[in-house]
């Protein structure tokens, strides 16, 4: 006889929902959020047709078209006969996305030495003795408090914003890599030396390969802090970028532009996170990641 279903079983630890339910339930909160916003916008516009805090769906759609197809206010207008690709290529959204993405990717590339430093601190005792205490102290400095110094040293152009991201996230990534590297059992290192491995063989072919999936996950978790420091730099001193445009639109209460920009930033970070997770799964199929 088939056991009787009880609603409380949905909260059980041993429950294994079907794939269809798993895929469907993942969209419930998205749909609820959109419905809640649409209702809030309708109520506010019913009370005040000129409300600009919660634009309607039509206004958001027009804002998306303006962002994706029209140049910024400071740029010259396009010729009337310009193609769709030219409209996209010289649009406000394209310009700001390219500027922010360039700074973001350069900062990620500059974080690679931080990973190497953390690995060496975990493997080589003298590296740990020299750098560990300094990095621990430097990690406690609030990165935004260094922004005036960075402006003085690097100017208000690109490198001050990039270095703000590196300084803000780098020490944390060093310490995270250090702790992950320390978690490798000592027996594996000793076993590698018995097989005539060199110091660099142990560091890069034994330890690094073993901890690389966790380091990639650490980078994934630091994507949002990186974007936070990027936004801080762009909002204070910049002439382009996603955060710069949001700051400009804030002065005009341009929520029809701000909200699409916020969703675009979230989508880009989400896609980057998915890419890193996919690469981690393909490169390290033996590791069970989130």
Per-residue pLDDT band for 5 (boundaries 50, 70, 90) equals low
Question: Which of helix, strand or coil describes residue 51?
Answer: coil
Residue 141 has pLDDT above 70, yes or no: yes
In whole angstroms, what is the distance from residue 284 CA to residue 145 CA?
39
Q: What is the pLDDT of residues 84-118, one digit of tens each?
A: 888 888 889 999 999 999 999 999 999 999 999 99
Is the model's pTM score more than 0.85? yes
Residue 38 has pLDDT above 70, yes or no: yes
Place domain 92-184+211-283 in its CATH homologous superfamily: MetI-like (1.10.3720.10)
Question: Which of helix, strand or coil describes residue 2?
Answer: coil
CB atoms inside a 10 Å sphere around CB 64: 18
- Count of alpha carbons within 13 Å of 97, Cβ hemisphere only? 20
Structure tokens that stand for 61 in this block: 């759609």
For the chain, give every domain's residue range. 19-54, 92-184+211-283
Q: What is the pLDDT of residues 192-232, one digit of tens each?
A: 888 888 888 888 988 998 899 999 999 999 999 999 999 99
Taking the CA atoms of residue 287, residue 214, residue 216 and residue 165 in that order, the dihedral angle to the nearest 10 degrees is 170
- Per DSSP (E only), the strands in 191-282 are none
Q: What is the pLDDT of residues 65-91, one digit of tens each?
A: 988 888 888 788 888 778 888 888 888
**Cα 53 off chain centre by:** 26
In whole angstroms, what is the distance from residue 215 CA to residue 115 CA?
8
């Amino acid at each position: 006889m088939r056991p009787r279903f009880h609603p409380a079983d949905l909260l059980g630890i041993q429950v294994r929902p079907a794939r269809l339910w798993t895929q469907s339930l993942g969209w419930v909160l998205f749909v609820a959020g959109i419905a809640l916003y649409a209702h809030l916008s309708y109520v506010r516009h019913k009370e005040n047709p000129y409300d600009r805090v919660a634009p309607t769906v039509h206004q958001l759609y027009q804002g998306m078209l303006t962002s994706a197809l029209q140049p910024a206010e400071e740029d010259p207008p396009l010729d009337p006969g310009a193609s769709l690709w030219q409209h996209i290529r010289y649009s406000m959204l394209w310009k700001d996305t390219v500027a922010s993405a360039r700074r973001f990717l350069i900062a990620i590339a500059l974080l690679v030495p931080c990973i190497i430093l953390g690995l060496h601190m975990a493997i080589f005792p003298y590296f740990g003795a020299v750098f560990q205490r300094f990095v621990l102290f430097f990690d406690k400095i609030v990165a935004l408090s260094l922004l005036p110094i960075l402006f003085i040293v690097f100017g208000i152009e690109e490198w001050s914003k990039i270095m703000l991201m590196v300084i803000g996230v780098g020490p944390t990534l060093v310490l995270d890599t250090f702790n992950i590297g320390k978690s490798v059992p000592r027996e594996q290192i000793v076993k590698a030396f018995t097989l005539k491995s060199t110091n660099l063989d142990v560091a890069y072919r034994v330890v690094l390969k073993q901890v690389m999936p966790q380091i990639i996950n650490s980078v994934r978790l630091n994507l949002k802090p990186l974007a936070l420091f990027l936004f801080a730099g762009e909002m204070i001193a910049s002439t382009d970028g996603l955060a710069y445009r949001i700051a400009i639109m804030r002065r005009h209460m341009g929520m029809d532009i701000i909200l699409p920009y916020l969703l675009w930033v979230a989508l880009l970070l989400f896609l980057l996170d998915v890419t890193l997770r996919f690469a981690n799964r393909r490169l390290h199929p033996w590791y069970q990641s989130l």
